[in-house]
Homo-oligomer: A and B are copies of this chain.
Amino acid sequence: ARPRVGYYFTGKTGSQVLTDKIKKLQVKDFQSIPVVVAENVSVYDAIVTMFLEDVGTLFVVDQGSILVGVLSRKDLLRTSIGKQELSTIPVNIIMTRMPNITMCEREDSLIDVAQKLIEKQIDALPVVKLTEKGIEVIGRITKTNMTKALVSLAIDGLV
């Protein structure tokens, strides 16, 4: 019989309780709002949008709001030191496009996504939902969200 003390020994150490808790964190608990641009906007306008919205990654969508590309601050900086006129180059020339986009879903493990960000050396992933029309962007998950997750683990012991 279990002792009547309001707790009992699970056979797990403090570390195991910790890792189990962290592994259960999901993307949806930490994701941010996505910022998107149309595929025909200029690189110049995309850079301005990045500053106005204060994000490090933009998602490029077609007329039907379907994901077609990703633009990082690094992509835009690389282009901006080239010889081209930024206001005449459309973003679809320089964006990362399908099938090279790394994506995730709301219910995915936050830690799996954190590992993808590290492996692929990128700052953010689009959070997507597969619909009849194609892949819709519903969120954005970044290294800033991961930093916030770390802080909330330290402060609350969890969210």
Contacts and interface: CB of A to CB of B under 8 A. Distances in A.
Interface of A: 12-19, 21-23, 44, 47-48, 50-51, 54, 56, 73-74, 76-78, 80-81, 86, 110-111, 114-115, 117-118, 121, 123, 143-144, 146-151, 153-158
A22 B153 contact: yes
Judged by DSSP, the binding face of A is: helix
Contacts of A115: 151
A114 B149 CA distance: 10
A61 to B, nearest CB: 22
Contacts of A118: 144, 147-148, 151
21 contacts: A12-B14, A13-B157, A14-B14, A14-B18, A14-B157, A15-B21, A19-B154, A19-B156, A19-B157, A44-B81, A48-B81, A54-B121, A73-B74, A111-B155, A114-B151, A118-B144, A143-B143, A147-B147, A149-B150, A150-B150, A153-B153
A17 B19 contact: no
A18 B21 contact: yes
* Of A123, A150, A157, most B-chain CB atoms within 10 Å: A150
